[in-house]
Chains A and B, each alone.
Chain A
Amino acid sequence: MFIDLKKQPKSESLLVVFFVTACLCLVFISYYDLTERPQERVMPGTGAVAVMTDGQKEARKRAEVIQKVLQEGKLELTPARYYRTGEEAQT
């Protein structure tokens, strides 16, 4: 132990415990905050800044998965019906 609590006055021991707990809470909160926070990245060639959330990263990963699955011939693409394209799709 760096600090022997038994040798400290009671109020100081409490202070140490409080400080350590607060630090742990901060670490915990920042971890979850960071993982949920959208991360900025510059799009190559455009200079535009896009915001990537975890959900988007997951979507990107899925896109890679689907390309791999198709290359392996596990699944195939068959034209589907009932969809809208262009500006209609954004509404």
Chain B
Amino acid sequence: MTQPIPAAAVSGAAPAIQCTLCPRGCTMAEYERGRCKVRVNKGGQLYTLVYGKPCAVHIDPIEKKPFFHFLPATAILSIATAGCCLECKYCQNWEISQAWPEETINQDLSPEAVVKGAVASRCRSIAYTYTEPTIFYEYMYDTSVLARRMGLRNVSVTCGYINPEPLRELCQVLDAANVDLKGFTDEFYVVNCGGRLQPVMDCILTMKKLGVHVEITNLVVPTKNDNMDLIRQMCAWVVQNTGADTPLHFSRFSPDYRLRQLPPTPIETLVKARDIALAEGLRYVYVGNVPGEDYENTICPGCKKPVIRRMGYRVVDFEIDRETSQCLYCHYKIAGVWK
């Protein structure tokens, strides 16, 4: 395919510009949008179409994000706009992530209104989630600044596809992130997501370095990224680079979007992945989207007793001292943000 004609050549309009927010680096002619569908060139300046226009606003339990080591059993105000910088074939929120912002039903919700809503709903934090928050960067950033002033925490549920400069700035107001490490080969990212692996790894490292609480999610898709050798390599990388205390969630795939022909991930596969992660030295490994199993509980690495028992998104038992982060049975310090 040939490249789009620069608008100037067509109509004498503004020159092309290049978005540097995410590693895709889209070049846009006049009125052209990036692959994210929400950032547009007008008159040689970059604009966002989704500032203050969320298409999803919900109050969720924080466990749903999932965050298991960050303010457990608290409510979180979750917002998203249309669009995404990746195009995962198995996206579970593709109706909004792959939509154009003019196609979704959007609310008018300024950053001030989001923060006010979170405080009124007794939420302890705000989540930028459902789609990729990077693409509504300005909205997320401004909301986060206000949220911090009101004593709220900011969390991002992200694919980690963001360039270092905007990421570093964001980390100044970000408290926690759940980064989706989708696979552990570049080929997987190229073929299934329209992205690359390295920027995601870099993002995780930067977040960790800048003091953001990081949890990692790996959605295991049958035949696509369920190779146990690669899962082992991924776990070893996590241990080496972000530490054995990093919570890792293996999530169950359910057939969606362009991968409807695949079956849901067998539970045995997820359990096997969890066993590998534990064998590699990770201390907190969970299996998600499989309610009713014990794999959602937090086990104290010291005494091996369950210190947080969960049922679905509900915390039914909490045996950690929120002040000292210690296990109530053996005083082992459990990694996380508990208050």
**B29 at the A interface (CB under 8 A):** yes
Binding stretch for chain B, among A3-11, A19-27, A75-83? A75-83
Verify B137–A63 contact, CB threshold 8 A: no
Cα distance, A66 to B50, chains bound together (Å): 13
Verify B10–A50 contact, CB threshold 8 A: yes
Verify A85–B40 contact, CB threshold 8 A: no
Verify B137–A85 contact, CB threshold 8 A: no
Residues of A within 8 A of B32 (CB): 59, 62-63
Residues of B within 8 A of A86 (CB): 15
**A14 at the B interface (CB under 8 A):** no
Verify B20–A90 contact, CB threshold 8 A: no
**B237 at the A interface (CB under 8 A):** no
Residues of A within 8 A of B46 (CB): 79-83
**B249 at the A interface (CB under 8 A):** no
* Chain B, range 62-103, C-beta contacts under 8 Å to A: 100-102
Cα distance, A84 to B27, chains bound together (Å): 9
Verify A80–B138 contact, CB threshold 8 A: yes
A81–chain B nearest beta-carbon distance, Å: 6
Q: Mark A37-73, 1 if CB is under 8 A from B, else 0.
A: 0100001000010111101100100110111010000
Binding stretch for chain A, among B1-9, B145-153, B188-196, B240-248? B1-9
* Chain B, range 176-195, C-beta contacts under 8 Å to A: none
Cα distance, A67 to B106, chains bound together (Å): 18
Cα distance, A38 to B106, chains bound together (Å): 36
Verify A74–B1 contact, CB threshold 8 A: no
A62–chain B nearest beta-carbon distance, Å: 7
Verify B18–A66 contact, CB threshold 8 A: no
Interface residues of B, CB < 8 Å — how many? 41
Residues of A within 8 A of B165 (CB): 82
Verify B27–A89 contact, CB threshold 8 A: yes
**A88 at the B interface (CB under 8 A):** yes
A65–chain B nearest beta-carbon distance, Å: 7
The one of A51, A67, A78 in contact with B51, judged by C-beta atoms closer than 8 angstroms, is A78
**B269 at the A interface (CB under 8 A):** no
Residues of B within 8 A of A63 (CB): 30-32
The one of B1, B2, B21, B49 in contact with A77, judged by C-beta atoms closer than 8 angstroms, is B49
**B325 at the A interface (CB under 8 A):** no
B44 nearest CB neighbor, chain A only: A85
Cα distance, A67 to B100, chains bound together (Å): 14
Verify A62–B33 contact, CB threshold 8 A: yes
Cα distance, A52 to B29, chains bound together (Å): 14
Verify A55–B50 contact, CB threshold 8 A: no
Verify A80–B33 contact, CB threshold 8 A: no
Verify A75–B102 contact, CB threshold 8 A: yes
Residues of B in contact with A (beta carbons under 8 Å apart)? 1-2, 4-5, 9-10, 15-21, 27, 29-33, 39-40, 42, 44-53, 100-102, 106, 137-138, 163, 165-166
Please name the 4 residue pairs, one residue from A and one from B, whose CB atoms are nearest each other, closest first: A63-B31, A78-B51, A89-B18, A77-B47
28 contacts between A and B (CB under 8 A): A38-B2, A50-B9, A50-B10, A53-B1, A56-B5, A59-B32, A63-B31, A65-B100, A75-B53, A75-B101, A75-B102, A77-B42, A77-B48, A77-B49, A78-B49, A78-B138, A80-B47, A80-B48, A81-B46, A81-B166, A82-B19, A82-B21, A82-B163, A83-B18, A83-B19, A84-B18, A85-B17, A90-B27
Residues of A in contact with B (beta carbons under 8 Å apart)? 38, 43, 48, 50-53, 55-56, 59, 62-63, 65-67, 69, 74-86, 88-90
